Amino acid sequence: MRRWQRPTLYASAALLSFVAAMWIGLLVMKFGEPAPVMAFARAIVGVHARIAWDFTLIARPEVLLPLGIALIVTAFIARPWRGRIAFSLFSLILSWRADAFLQHLFRRPRRTDWVIHHETSFSYPSSHAAISCGFYLLWAFFIARSELPLALRVVLVSLLVLLWPTILWSRLALGAHYPSDLLGGTFVGLAAVFALAAVAETIKVVGATSRRA
């Protein structure tokens, strides 16, 4: 039974993360955003808005589509990275679709104090937060555990880890989301990563069992 510990652990973490996203959504839909948190969110709307827009593009299709194509091409060239690339692309898609499902479930209207770009999709949870966690932060983990030179790993991991909160900040600076949207989206991204990890570990266990049989 010990060989099932990892799949069970990852599946439990995925379920807990998804439940957390649901719970936060139910709370904010019933009680709204906490006043001090909302005051902070309003205070930073419009701060360095053009820079915020540049960072918000990093988790939009304009950047993600060519990046995904580049990763697929890389997978054909760099065989040792194929598994990580496939996992990250599945995580990206799952984060995006799970987030879209919850957006249509909660149907939370967007903020009205937006700047630069008026987004008309539902607000909770934030797909940018889900993608920044389920894709970019995931790549920070992959690179940290890779065989790349130490100096390069430190630089890349630092940039990716910093990119995560910067994308979240950009959504507040543009007035595109409530703070709770970002928290909920982060849990959606975590749920996607852990769910895929559970599937991957289950496949390993089943494969190992079949070989022994």
What confidence tens digit (pLDDT) does each residue in 46-94 have? 999 999 999 999 999 999 999 999 999 999 999 999 999 999 999 999 9
Q: In whole angstroms, what is the distance from residue 161 CA to residue 122 CA?
A: 27
Tell me what the pLDDT averaged over the chain comes to: 93
Evaluate if residue 192 carries a pLDDT over 60: yes
Do residues 185 and 126 make contact, with C-beta atoms less than 8 angstroms apart?
A: yes
Taking the domains of the chain in order of start, what are their residue ranges? 2-208
* pLDDT band, very low/low/confident/very high, at 210 (cuts 50, 70, 90): low
The per-residue pLDDT for 6 is 87
Using 50, 70 and 90 to split pLDDT, how confident is the model at 212? Answer: low
CA gap 193, 185 in Å, rounded: 13
Work out the number of other CB atoms within 10 angstroms of the CB of residue 38. 15
pLDDT band at 4 (very low <50, low <70, confident <90, very high): confident
The pair of structure tokens assigned to 119 is 């987004």
Q: Tell me the CA distances in angstroms from 85 to 77, 92, 148, one per residue in order.
A: 12, 11, 15
Given this model, what pLDDT does residue 205 score?
76
Tokens of 158: 């630092």
Q: Look at residue 206 in the predicted model and tell me its pLDDT.
A: 72
Predicted pLDDT of residue 94: 97
The Cα 42–Cα 112 span in angstroms is 11
pTM check: above 0.85: yes
Are 124 and 28 in contact by the 8 Å Cβ rule? The answer is yes
Range with top average pLDDT, 108-122, 171-185, 196-210: 171-185
